[in-house]
Amino acid sequence: MPECLRTPSSLAFEEVTLEAVLAGRVTMADLRVTAEALELQAQVAEQAGRPQLAENLRRAAELVAVPDEEILAIYNALRPGRADRGKLLALASQLEARYGAVRCAALIREAAEI
């Protein structure tokens, strides 16, 4: 399955070498995980009988497009006593509307009900 993997700038997995890094052909941006790679990992997890891991990987795939600052804000809001039900529901709606992160939004809505 490594032949299916590509970097965010579309380099093939095999092109990510120390030589390519030293030559400047591979940057830090190329080392970020892609939604496609996480989906492939989710499929492997499902085939191995690990549905919870597969679901976690699919949620992670949704978050690839979300800026780090927003992820940190969501993380902080999910900590005990940091946000009320309304704030969490608003965060879930924003995540779903802006990024199509349906699975992550559902998880935040579930947390809002606890």
For 57-113, the pLDDT digits (tens) are 999 999 999 999 999 999 999 999 999 999 999 999 999 999 999 999 999 999 999
What pLDDT sits at residue 2?
64
Q: What are phi and psi of 12, to 5 degrees?
A: -70, 150
pLDDT of residue 102: 98
| List of domains in the chain | 66-114 (1.10.1510.20)
113: which 2 tokens?
Answer: 């009900």
Question: What integer is the mean pLDDT of 32-52?
Answer: 95
What's the pLDDT at 29?
86
| Residue with the two structure tokens 């809002």 | 112
For 16-35, what is the mean pLDDT?
A: 90
Q: Is the C-alpha dihedral spanning 68, 70, 33, 50 positive or negative?
A: positive
Residue 32 has pLDDT above 90, yes or no: no
The pLDDT score that the predictor gives to residue 1 is 61
| Contact yes or no for 103/56 (Cβ under 8 A) | no
- Distance in angstroms between the alpha carbons of the first and the last residue of the chain: 40
